[in-house]
Amino acid sequence: MARNPRYDILFEPVRIGPVTARNRFYAVPHAAGMTNSMPHMRAKFRETKAEGGWGVVCSGYVSIDPSSDDAPLPSQHSGMRTISARTP
């Protein structure tokens, strides 16, 4: 079934600052029922969204350096790989 052409703009790339998102689908940060004790599961959840075609996946709060003061939260850096922004 062909999509209505009025929705074509949703599938076009859009620039957000220095990055170009491949489309206009934006996954908002939300509570997915995964606690801070399962950072790998949360990362995989967002990775799955990104691989599934979402243009932007907002992760909410993320510490970007192992020296970040996340106390009393557990370290979120051990064994995790970084997913960087991709251009179309």
Residue 74 maps to a domain: no
Residue 77 maps to a domain: no
Residue 17 maps to a domain: yes
- Which range (19-28, 46-55, 56-65) has the least confidence? 56-65
Residue 83 maps to a domain: no
Q: What is the pLDDT of residues 27-58, one digit of tens each?
A: 887 766 666 677 788 788 878 887 888 888 88
Whole-number pLDDT of residue 87: 47
Residue 76 maps to a domain: no
Does the reported pTM lie above 0.75?
no
Q: What is the rounded distance in angstroms from the CA atom of residue 54 to the CA atom of residue 24?
A: 8
Whole-number pLDDT of residue 51: 84
**Parent domain of 25:** 8-57
Residue 48 maps to a domain: yes
Whole-number pLDDT of residue 69: 66
Q: How many domains, the chain?
A: 1
Q: What percent of the chain has pLDDT over 90?
A: 26
Residue 80 maps to a domain: no
Residue 88 maps to a domain: no
Question: What are 6's two structure tokens?
Answer: 């009025």
